[in-house]
Amino acid sequence: MRDARNQRSLGAPSVKRGRCLVALTVAVLCLAPGSARAEQTQSPDTTLAFVAGAFVMAAGFMVGSVLLATNTDNRTADNAGWLTMNGGFTVAPIASHAVVGEWGRGLAFAAAPAAAMGGTAALFQVDSGTVVHGSLPEQRVLWSFFLAGLFSGTAGVVDAALARGRTAPVTVAPMIGAGHLGLSVGGTL
């Protein structure tokens, strides 16, 4: 009984430190200097956008990994570590697109990792021991959500790194001709 209380008390400060680190990272990126403002006139700094997104993703991954590695069969710390990694995947596209002034696009790219994180949280509600003691189907679902968040978050960061070429929004126009009707999509995606 005493060991269980000691394990819970050991995991709680780590979870709080991880949450504080993620919150601090987000605050620093939101308060970035003038190069992150939407009203910039020169071409966006895509290198800084990539570095910002990669930093957030790596920081979430490192903090989550530390939470997973430093606990002794504490399900709460395992779940917090896993969700911290998913949180990094979700915030990274927002941070990288914020640097180039494309907040809406960043939120759009963050939707898929956020959905994967929500699915992971729902899975933890069904079985809180999924990370270490989950059944094979639970592990498959858990890793599917993890990989979906990782790849879609990475795609968002890479998209921000390619922002320099975007000059015009996407346009959709009707096409009407003899015997056909359709839509023409143009611009840069």
**Average of per-residue pLDDT values in the chain:** 78
Specify burial of residue 124 (Cβ count, 10 A radius: 0-12, 13-18, 19+).
buried
pLDDT mean over 17-44: 55
Query: What does the pLDDT read at residue 174?
Result: 73
List, for residues 97-127, the tens digit of each pLDDT value: 999 888 999 999 999 999 999 999 999 888 8
List, for residues 135-174, the tens digit of each pLDDT value: 888 889 999 999 999 999 999 999 988 877 665 455 666 7
177 within 8 A of 169, measured Cβ to Cβ: no
Query: What does the pLDDT read at residue 20?
Result: 59
Q: How far apart are the first and last CA of the chain?
A: 58
Predicted confidence band at 58 (pLDDT cuts at 50, 70, 90)? very high
What residue type is assigned to position 188 of the chain? Answer: T
- Work out the number of other CB atoms within 10 angstroms of the CB of residue 158: 16
Predicted confidence band at 59 (pLDDT cuts at 50, 70, 90)? very high
pLDDT mean over 64-82: 86
State how many domains the chain has: 1
Count CA within 13 A, CB hemisphere, residue 165.
8
List, for residues 122-139, the tens digit of each pLDDT value: 998 888 877 777 788 888
Query: What does the pLDDT read at residue 176?
Result: 77
Predicted confidence band at 181 (pLDDT cuts at 50, 70, 90)? confident
Nearest to 48 by CA among 26, 33, 59: 33
For residue 23, give its domain range. 2-186
Please give the residue that has the higher pLDDT: either 57 or 21. Answer: 57
Nearest to 17 by CA among 72, 58, 77, 74: 77
Query: What does the pLDDT read at residue 29?
Result: 53
Tokens of 81: 């570590």
